Amino acid sequence: MSKPLGLIMSIIHSINISKLGGVPKLPLKKAVVKFEGLEEDLNRFRMERKNGDSRRAVSIFSLERILQLQEEGHPIDVGTAGENFTIKGMDWTKLKIGMTIGLGSVLIRLSEPCAPCSKIGESFMENNFSRIDQNKNQGWSRWSASVVQEGSVSIGDAVYFEEN
């Protein structure tokens, strides 16, 4: 693993899984991350694909975006948008496809902004889940990522950009 670039300002605020699938994903203090995703997290999207979809092994979302959405009146909370990792302190506007991010000892590579779906509708006023659609509101989306390096993560672990 290469060294983080610059000062570490971001941390893992929450680690979230759903053993039965769906939302909300509930918090854990630590997790093991495999190439397929977090252990014990049932991700129906990956399961429905014959060989899985490694580009969508994990999802991340911004704590600051969640708090901003709450200020707008949305009933969203950590884990209710289906994210595996809620990140605190990361500049969400800098995320781009192909970026590698370190989460503790784990490395992930951003695959795509995560298109919102009706399953997270209850987290938004009037079921307006498109509020976090990247095509409509740049910089507000959750992100899907593949796992480049397996490992374990804990709440409070550093989150940082890696050199590609």
pLDDT tens across 120-157, in order?
999 999 999 999 999 999 999 999 999 999 999 999 99
pLDDT at site 25 = 96
Query: For residue 139, what are the domain limits?
Result: 10-161
pLDDT, residue 48, reads 47
Look at residue 107 and tell me whether its pLDDT is greater than 60: yes
* Alpha carbons 44 and 61: distance in angstroms, whole number: 19
Specify the CATH number for the domain of residue 109: 2.40.33.20
How many angstroms separate the CA atoms of 139 and 4, rounded? 23
Structural domain includes residue 1: no
Which region holds residue 6: left if phi is over 0, alpha if psi is between -120 and 50, else beta?
A: left
Let me know if residue 76 belongs to a domain: yes
Q: Is residue 2 in some structural domain?
A: no
Q: How many domains does the chain have?
A: 1
Confidence of residue 8 (pLDDT cuts 50, 70, 90): low
pLDDT on residue 121: 96
pLDDT at 7: 52
Q: Is residue 88 part of a domain?
A: yes
pLDDT in tens, 44-92: 655 444 455 688 899 999 999 999 999 999 999 999 999 999 999 999 9
For residue 57, what pLDDT is reported?
Answer: 93
Whether the CB-CB separation of 110 and 33 falls below 8 Å is answered with no
Section 37-47 average pLDDT: 78
Q: What is the predicted pLDDT for the residue at 9?
A: 80
Whether residue 107 lies inside any domain: the answer is yes
- pLDDT for 160 equals 94
Question: Does residue 142 sit within a domain?
Answer: yes
The reply to whether 3 falls in a domain is no
Q: What is the reported pTM?
A: 0.91
Peptide bond preceding 27: is omega within 30 degrees of 0, i.e. cis? no
pLDDT top residue among 127 and 164: 127
Structure tokens at 116: 């919102």
Residue 158, SS3? strand
Query: For position 50, what pLDDT does the model report?
Result: 46
Confidence (pLDDT) at 54: 84
Partnered with residue 113 across adjacent β-strands are 143
DSSP-derived pairing of the beta strands 85-88 and 26-28: unpaired
CB 43 within 8 A of CB 21: yes
- The DSSP letter of residue 52 is -
3 state DSSP class of 44 = helix
